[in-house]
Amino acid sequence: MTKEESAHDKLKELERQRDEILRAIEELKTKAIQELLDKRKEYDEQLNALGYRDLGVPSRKKRGEIKPGTICPICKFATSPAHDGRSHRNQNPKAPFSDNELKERELIKITP
């Protein structure tokens, strides 16, 4: 055997060992996850037996979030993206947005 062949054989052996280790790690991770899921199921059953019902965390509306299709009380029409009366806070007197203002604000008027 030449030095190149022995180096090549060593490299192949190291790659085989690496693959073996990676497979072992994946198996351990899978086993650990399954154990935790089993414990969770057991804890959930105990909580249910005590009368606790997990209804989950309700989703919270982000501050200032406007539902799509909301009709602005000042403009009397909806836009995309949605806007409401707060968008008119710098207008004096309050008035519906003109076509130019809609364009500046990148709003598209939605007609029913």
Whether pTM exceeds 0.75: no
Q: What is the CA radius of gyration of the chain?
A: 32
What is the average pLDDT across 7-29? 95
Q: What is the pLDDT of residues 19-65, one digit of tens each?
A: 999 999 999 999 999 999 999 999 988 888 888 876 666 666 666 67
Phi, psi (rounded to 5 degrees) for 109: -70, 130
pLDDT at 103 over 70: yes
| Alpha helix (H) residue ranges in the chain | 3-49, 99-104
Computed over every residue of the chain, the mean pLDDT equals 86
Q: What is the pLDDT of residues 26-39, one digit of tens each?
A: 999 999 999 999 99
Secondary structure of residue 67 in the 3-state scheme = coil
Nearest to 81 by CA among 106, 46, 104, 100: 106
